[in-house]
Every structure is written in C-alpha cells, then in structure tokens.
Amino acid sequence: MKKSVLSSIYAALSFFTIAGHVQAQSKISDDAVKIGVLTDMSGQFSHESGEGAVTAVKMAVQDFGGKVLGKPIEVIVADHQNKPDVAATRTREWFDTRGVDLVTNLINSAVALSVVNVAKEKNRIAIINGSGSSRLTGEACTPNSIHYTYDTYALATGTAKALIGQKFDSWYFLTADYAFGHSLEADAMQVVKASGGTVVGAIRYPVDASDHSSFLLQAQASKAKVVALAGSGKGFVNAMKAASEFGLTGKQKIAGLLVWDTDIHALGLKQAQGLVLTTAFYWDRNEATRAWAKRFYDKMKRMPHMGDAGDYSSTMHYLKAVQAAGTDDASAVMAKMREMPINDFFATNGHIRADGRMVHDMYVYQVKAPGESKYPWDYLSLLKTIPANEAFRPLAESKCPLIGK
C-alpha cells in the first residue's frame, strides 16, 4: 500500500515537472524567436548597412547557438527602399503575420522614426543601429525602442569640440535634406556655439543629389574655417570628392559629421586624409575588435564599421535578455536589456537608459595620410576617447516623455 502511494506521488511530481517545462517552453511565441533585419539593400546607404547588417546579425545568431530557450532563432530580411511608408508597412506585416519579435538595423532616420511607432503600437522591439537622429531618444522615444550604436549628439559633440579645440571656430554647414541631416546639423550647431564658435551659414542639398558643385561654391564663398558635411552614404562621398576637386580641402577644413570606414575606403586616403571624425567602433582598436573584424572580413571581404559591430552586439544582447527573461515577451525582454550590462568587443560596461539610449564610450579619430597606412584598412589614428557619461545627451536635457523631471 505504502509503495503504491509513493508511486502515485512520484508520478504526480513528474507530471508537474514536465508540465512546468512545457509551460516554460510555451513562453516563446510561435515556437521561434524571429529577428527582422529591415535595411537598405540596394540604395545609397547599402554600403553602410545592407548585406553587412544581415551578416552581422546572422553571426550573432550563430554564435549564440542558433536557439534560445530550446526554440530556433530565425532571421528575416527586407529592403525598406529608404521610404518610411514602405518600412512601416513591412514592419506591421512582420508583426501581424510573420510573428517577428525584433526589428533591427533601420538605417535612414526617417525610416527608424516611422518603425519605432509601429513597434510601440504592437508591443514588439525595435533596435536602431544604422540611423543617428537624436530624436529617437528625445521626443520620439518609446518604451519599445533602443538606440544602440551612435547618434547625432555624440557625433557632433566629438567632432565639433575636437576641431574648435584646434582653433577651427567658424563653421558653414552643407546638410542632407532629411531627418538625419537636420538632426545632425542642429546638434552640431548647438555644440559649435556652446564651445565659443560661430556658424556663418548653412545650405541643404537633396539627399539623392549627385552634383554638389553649386552647394560647395557657396560654402567656399563663406570663408568659414570649417565646411561641415551633415550627411551620409553616397551623398557624403560625392560631396567629399567634389570638395577635393574644388580645392576646398586645401583652404578650408572639411568635417565629416558621419563618416563610415566604407566611405574612407571608397574615397581613398589621398582624398580623405586629415578628416576628423567620431565613431563608436574601429576595427583596429584592440585585440578583441581585430578578432571579430577578421571573422566579419572572411564573410564580407571588407572590414566592419560601427553599424556592423552594433548590429552584432545588440542582437547578442537581445538574445541574452530573452534567455534571462525566459520569454520573448517584449516588455519582459526590454526590462532585462535595461538591467543587464553590455561587455563585449563593442562596449565595456555599456547600459541602456530609460530613454532607450545605449550609453558607451565614443572615439574621435583622424584619417591617416597615405604614407602613414601600413596595411589594408589601416585608416585611422585615435585622437581621443570620450567617456560614456560625456558622449551622449544627459538625461537632464532629454525631451523623452518617459523621463520624469
């Protein structure tokens, strides 16, 4: 009789153990964790995102083991065509019909600003690595979005302060006419003025402009010590080439307010030499960055830039948070992502603030002259490390509605 009772107790315990295990497994929706890489696969920002972003995310998934909480991790890819309406529609479709849990990369600030609202509405997660507008952690912040790699405030603070410290104190802005360019211009102007410099003028060019000659002639006529290029992608590269042809690089300092390693590679050191820039990551900074960069190079045949590194690091952080939360529920995962520090080749003691800003060190570099480069992709010399607590806009100045004043 006693043996029969014990057998019944053991059977019941086994049942509840198995049931608990099944219940824990069921916390992953649709039996898979799905990551959507929404990026520019073929347009003017494809060299700064595109296949590189997809590769970095897939590397993180592979390094994590391809599964989380016993369920497979799937990566879905789409081209947003640099159109905010296309991006919002695709994101909504992913959330509603494909069971996507996380949308990432999101290069092009207008695209990112449209997608974060959909993520908030659907209670899913958006991580921005490609776009820079500081509005994403300002008035446009959401409880479901993270701005991970860089932003216009950090870029402007690093580059503007470095140049004004070298007595380049009068500025003229050549700005791409879209959300990112406007944000970068505004943040940089604020830093220039606060640091004792002057802004003598500004002009905006269409984001898809191929001929910058008329804009550069006005910049040249301004006599400003610095011509600041507040743009990105092919537009920045074309503007730099034109500035060299017009002779501006010998008479005025050209400041690239967002410069990717791929931009320098496209320009060549002869045209890019002397550029001062701010970045979140350089592949040749230390042994850890070099080790990861080599693996990325083996797949892409180019060295990674900060967007690639951010895509990898943020995907890994997301998957660790899902593991720690025991679910892919967005609210639970966001809480874990804010709670857990980030320590990898990209960031040391990084953390995610209440406004969604991932805070980490930033770096000011100068592009080497051709004779200073010793091997392929040896492009940058470190001028300054900006500590995390100085690199990004203080919470006290934030316009994010999530921040209590």
Tokens of 194: 């606060």
pLDDT over 60 (residue 122): yes
Cα 367–Cα 311–Cα 357 angle in degrees, nearest 5: 90
The answer to whether residue 19 scores a pLDDT higher than 50 is no
Q: Tell me what pLDDT residue 17 has.
A: 42
Q: Above 90 in pLDDT, residue 31?
A: yes
- Per-residue pLDDT tens digits for 177-210: 988 889 899 999 999 999 999 999 999 988 777 7
The pLDDT of residue 211 is: 82
Burial tier of 218 (Cβ tally within 10 Å: 0-12, 13-18, 19+)? middle
DSSP state of 95: I
Residues 46-94 have pLDDT tens digits of: 989 999 999 999 999 999 999 999 999 999 999 999 999 999 999 999 9
Per-residue pLDDT reduced to its tens digit, 198-254: 999 999 988 777 788 888 889 999 999 999 999 887 888 888 888 888 777 778 888
Q: pLDDT exceeding 90 applies to what percent of the chain?
A: 80
Residue 290 CB burial class (10 angstroms; 0-12, 13-18, ≥19): middle
pLDDT for 273 beyond 70: yes
Q: By C-alpha distance, which of 179, 164, 166 is closest to 128? A: 179
pLDDT value for 308: 98
The first and second tokens of residue 202, run together, are 């500004």
* Structural domains of the chain sorted by starting position, each given as residue range(s) with its CATH number in brackets: 33-150+286-360 (3.40.50.2300), 153-279+362-391 (3.40.50.2300)
Tokens of 215: 């804009």
92: part of which helix (H) or strand (E)? helix 84-93
- Average pLDDT in the chain: 91
